[in-house]
Amino acid sequence: MSHPKITTHILGYPRIGERRTLKWALESHWRGTLSAQALHDTAVGVRAKNFAEFAAAGISLPPAGDFTYYDHIADTALMFGQVPSRFGSTANTAENLFVLGRGKNRDGHNIAPLAMKKWFNSNYHYMVPELDAAQPVKLDSARYIALVREALALNPAAKPVIVGPLTFLYLSRGIDEAARLAKADALAGAYQQLLNELKTLGVTWVQIDEPILTLDLPTAWLAAFEPTYHKLKVAGIKLLLTTYFGDLNGNVALAASLPVDGLHIDAIATQDLIAVADRLPDYKVLSVGIIDGRSIWRANLAEKLERLQPVYARLKDRLWLAPSCSLLHLPVDATLETHAPEFLRANLSYARQKLHELAILARGLGEGEAAIASEIAAATAARALLDTHAGRVNADVRGRTDTIAHQSPDRAEAFAVRAAAQQARFHLPLLPTTTIGSFPQTHEIRAARKAFKNNEISAAEYETSMKAEIKHVIEVQEKIGLDALVHGEAERNDMVEYFGEQLDGFAFTQEGWVQSYGSRCVKPPIIWGDVHRAKPMTVEWSRYAQSLSSRPVKGMLTGPVTILFWSFVRDDLSREAVCYQIAEALRHEINDLAAAGIGMIQVDEPAFREGLPLRKKDWAPYLAWAVRAFKHSVKDAARDVQIHTHMCYSEFNDIIEAIAALDADVITIETTRSNMQLLDAFSDFAYPNAIGPGIYDIHAPQIPTVDEIEPRVRLAMEKIPVERLWINPDCGLKTRTWAEVIPSLEAMVAVARTLRSKLN
C-alpha cells in the first residue's frame, strides 16, 4: 500500500555554514585578502552543502534566496532600490550591501551604515532600511534571481523566499508611517514584477514573509494587506504567506482571507491549530510550524504527532509541515559537538537535525505512528538520559526557588532610608563619577586568559597577572579622580559566559554559533540543569580590588534576566522558574560580596528590555517576574549597601514603571546618542532613585572634550534633581584603548568638579 507523502519545507536556513565558513570568508574579503570570486565560491559551497542536507532529509520544498552575505532586510532594500542618498550608488551589488551594513570612509568622511535593530524577539539584528518618500521603487533582481537559479539547478522544487512588502515597510524608518504605507502600492508593483521573473524560471511556490502579522498592528497597516496582496497576484505563482514568532491572535481572519494560496503559522506560539484550519478557505494550504525553529532541543515527536493528527484528518494534503520560523536562529549541526557529554549531545537538535525531525514527523503522520516507532523510542530514550541526569533537578535549588514567586521581593528599607545610610558610609560628593565596569581588554589580558584556559600558565601565574591588571586599573581611576571605582573585569571574556562557567546547570558548546548580525556570531551557553552556585564567583577579585583603595570599588555582576536571555534555555521549566534559580544564585553572591566589605554592588541588566514579549498583552506578566527576579537577587542587601544596575541601548518610556520597581539605588544608562532624551522617561515619571546618565559614547574612538560633556550634564541637571544625579560613560570601556579612555574620563571628572564647585 502506498502512503501519501506529506509536504515538508523550511522557511530559511543558517547562512554562516559549518564552522562559520562564510564568516571567515567575508572577513578575509573585507580585509582584502580574499577575492570577490573566492568569496562567491565559498558561498556557493555553503549553499550546495545546505541543499545536500535538505535532499538527505527529503525536504519537499527547500528554500532559495534566503541566503545573504550580510542581512536579508538590507538585501531587500537594495533589490527594490531603497537606499539612502548618502550611499551614492543604489546598484544591487554585494559591495554596496557591505557598505549598507558596515559604512565606509569616502574622501575622508564617514558614511554611516544603516542602523541595526533586533529582529522581533530573536537575537538576530537586521539593518533598518531608511526610506525617502521621493525615491522611486526600482526592481534590481539580478543577484536574487541568480540565487534562485542556482537553487533550482540543485532542486527544481526549490521555493524562493522573500520578505513581504508590508513587513519591509513596517520595519523601515526615515519617513513616517503614512509615507511608508504610501509606498506599498509601488512596492507591490515591483514585487509583482519579481514574481513574474520567478515564473519564467519555472517556480511554482514562493514564500512571502509577513511576521508583522504576529504583532499588535495599527489598523492602517492591517488595512494595507488586502490591497497590497491583490496587487501582487501573478497567475501561475502560488504564494505561501508566512507568519512566525507569535500567534496570529486577532489577525487570523485577515491572514486566512488574503489572496494567497497558503498560510504558515507558528504552532509553538499557537494554541488551537484546528481553529486556524477552520478559518482557512478550502483551496488553501496550511503550513504548520510544528518544530520549534529556535530551540536547540530535540523535539518530543510523540507529542507533536498527536497534535498534528486532528489537523491532518481535517486538511489531508493541504497540511504542510515546517519548523516554526527560519532555522537561521539555530547553530548549524549538533553532530559537531563532539566534546559534549552524551546526555547533552543526544538531546541537541540544531538546524540540520531539525530537517530530519521534520521528515520523521511527516512520515509518522502519513504512514501512521508505527512507521516511526523506533525514532520515537530513540527520542524518548535520549530525553530520559537528560531528565535523569544528576543536576537536572536539584532538590535543594527547587526547595529554595519554588516559593520565590510568593515571597516579598522588597529590601527591608525604603530608598530614602537606604540613601541616608549609604551617604553616611561613602560620603560621596554631588555628581559622583563612576564607570560601567570594564576597562580596556588589552592584548596581554586576552593572552593571559587564553594561556590559563589552555593550561599553559598555572592558576597562580594567572592570578598574579589579573591582580596586576586590577591594581593598574585602580591606580588609574584614583589618579583620574573617579569617586566609585571598578575592578575592570579583566578576568571576564563575556559577561554571561563568565558566570555560566562557574554555575552548575550550564554547558558550553564548541559549534553552537548563531548569526547575530553580518559576520558576527554569538555562542550562547546552554542552561540544561538547575542553576546552583557551588562557591563564590567574584568575591576574591572584588575583595582584592577593594583592598587597594579607600574609595568604594563596585562589585560587578550580570543580572538574572540578562543571563537568562543570552543563553539557550531548557524547555522543561518556565523561563520564570529558571530566572529565579539564577536570581537565587546571585543573591548568595551578593550576600558574600557584602560580607566581604563590598559596599557597592552593580547588577547589570542590559537585556532587561529585550525579554519584552511582542504583544502588549503579554508584557505585564513578563515584567512582573523579571522585576521580581532582579529584586530577589538584591533583597538581602543591608541599607548601607548600594545596589547599582546598568541598562543600555534600550528605550525606557514604555517600561519605566518596571524600571522604577527594580528599586536599584542607582541606575546607569546610555543616553549620549539621544542627546539625553532618554532621560525624559525618568524625569516625566519622576523616577525616585539615583540615575547616572551616560555622557559620552563609548563606541566612537573620538575623545570627548569638556565642552561636549558639560552641556550634556547641564541638560541632565535640568531633568533630574542634582542630589540624585551621577556622571558616567554610556557603557563599559572594554572595546576602547587606554589612550582613549584616560583623557575621556579626565574630561568627565573635570566637568563634574567644575559643576560641583558652582553648586557648593
Which segments of 138-183 does DSSP mark as H helices, in order?
Answer: 142-154, 165-171, 177-182
Q: Judged by CB under 6 A, does residue 678 bind ligand GLN?
A: no
Candidates 151, 431, 556, 623; binder of ligand GLN (CB under 6 A) is 556
Q: Judged by CB under 5 A, does residue 557 bind Zn ion?
A: no
Element (H, E) at 344: helix 342-345
Q: Judged by CB under 6 A, does residue 644 bind ligand GLN?
A: no
User: Closer CB to ligand GLN, residue 357 or residue 604?
Assistant: 604
Cβ 445 to ligand GLN, closest distance in Å?
13
User: Closer CB to Zn ion, residue 525 or residue 606?
Assistant: 606
User: Closer CB to Zn ion, residue 215 or residue 557?
Assistant: 557
CA distance 488 to 477: 10
CA distance 248 to 231: 23
User: Considering CB distances under 5 to 8 angstroms, the limit depending on partner class, which of ligand GLN, Zn ion, none binds residue 734?
Assistant: ligand GLN
Grid cell digits, residue 78 = 537594495
CA distance 353 to 389: 22
Q: Is the dihedral of CA 525, 529, 531, 535 positive or negative?
A: negative
Which of 356, 472, 588, 699 is flagged as catalytic?
699
Q: Say if residues 608 and 441 touch (Cβ distance below 8 Å).
A: no
In the residue annotation, 699 being an active-site residue is answered as yes
Q: What is the CA radius of gyration of the chain?
A: 27
What Å distances lie between residue 303 and 287, 290, 621, 643, CA to CA?
A: 18, 10, 27, 45
Residues 422-451 binding Zn ion (CB under 5 A) are none
CA angle 147, 153, 157 (to 5 degrees): 90
Q: Judged by CB under 5 A, does residue 666 bind Zn ion?
A: no
End-to-end CA distance of the chain: 92
Candidates 224, 436, 503, 713; binder of ligand GLN (CB under 6 A) is 436
Mark the segment that binds ligand GLN (CB under 6 A) among 26-34, 105-113, 207-215, 727-735: 727-735
Q: Judged by CB under 5 A, does residue 695 bind Zn ion?
A: no
Mark the segment that binds Zn ion (CB under 5 A) among 123-131, 331-339, 713-721, 727-735: 727-735
User: In which region does residue 391 sit, left (phi positive, over 0), alpha (psi from -120 to 50) or beta (all else)?
Assistant: left
What Å distances lie between residue 471 and 440, 474, 542, CA to CA?
A: 14, 5, 11
Question: Chain-centre distance of CA 47, in angstroms?
Answer: 25
User: Closer CB to ligand GLN, residue 291 or residue 629?
Assistant: 629
User: Considering CB distances under 5 to 8 angstroms, the limit depending on partner class, which of Zn ion, ligand GLN, none binds residue 29?
Assistant: none
Candidates 466, 667, 731, 745; binder of Zn ion (CB under 5 A) is 731
Residues 578-607 binding Zn ion (CB under 5 A) are 606
Q: Which amino acid is at 649?
A: Y
Q: What secondary structure letter does DSSP report for 298? A: P
CA distance 150 to 47: 9
Cβ 196 to ligand GLN, closest distance in Å?
47
Cβ 3 to ligand GLN, closest distance in Å?
53
Q: Judged by CB under 6 A, does residue 734 bind ligand GLN?
A: yes
User: Closer CB to Zn ion, residue 552 or residue 606?
Assistant: 606
User: Considering CB distances under 5 to 8 angstroms, the limit depending on partner class, which of ligand GLN, Zn ion, none binds residue 147?
Assistant: none
CA distance 654 to 740: 35
Q: Is 202 exposed, middle or buried (0-12, 13-18, 19+ CB in 10 A)?
A: exposed
Residues 495-514 binding ligand GLN (CB under 6 A) are 495
Element (H, E) at 690: strand 690-693
Cβ 646 to ligand GLN, closest distance in Å?
5
User: Closer CB to ligand GLN, residue 280 or residue 731?
Assistant: 731
User: Closer CB to ligand GLN, residue 127 or residue 495?
Assistant: 495
Q: Judged by CB under 6 A, does residue 437 bind ligand GLN?
A: yes
Q: Judged by CB under 5 A, does residue 655 bind Zn ion?
A: no
Cβ 436 to ligand GLN, closest distance in Å?
4
Q: Judged by CB under 5 A, does residue 752 bind Zn ion?
A: no
Where in 96-248 does DSSP place strands (E)?
A: 104-106, 109-111, 116-118, 125-127, 159-163, 205-209, 238-242
Mark the segment that binds ligand GLN (CB under 6 A) among 11-19, 290-298, 529-537, 728-736: 728-736
Q: Judged by CB under 6 A, does residue 438 bind ligand GLN?
A: yes
Candidates 197, 604, 710, 730; binder of ligand GLN (CB under 6 A) is 604
Grid cell digits, residue 268 = 509553538
Nearest CA among 90, 75, 81, 87 for reference residue 518: 75
Candidates 83, 648, 667, 709; binder of ligand GLN (CB under 6 A) is 648
Q: Note the residues at the interface with ligand GLN (CB under 6 A).
A: 436-438, 489, 495, 556, 604, 606, 646, 648, 731-732, 734
Q: Note the residues at the interface with Zn ion (CB under 5 A).
A: 606, 648, 731
- Please list the active-site residues: 699
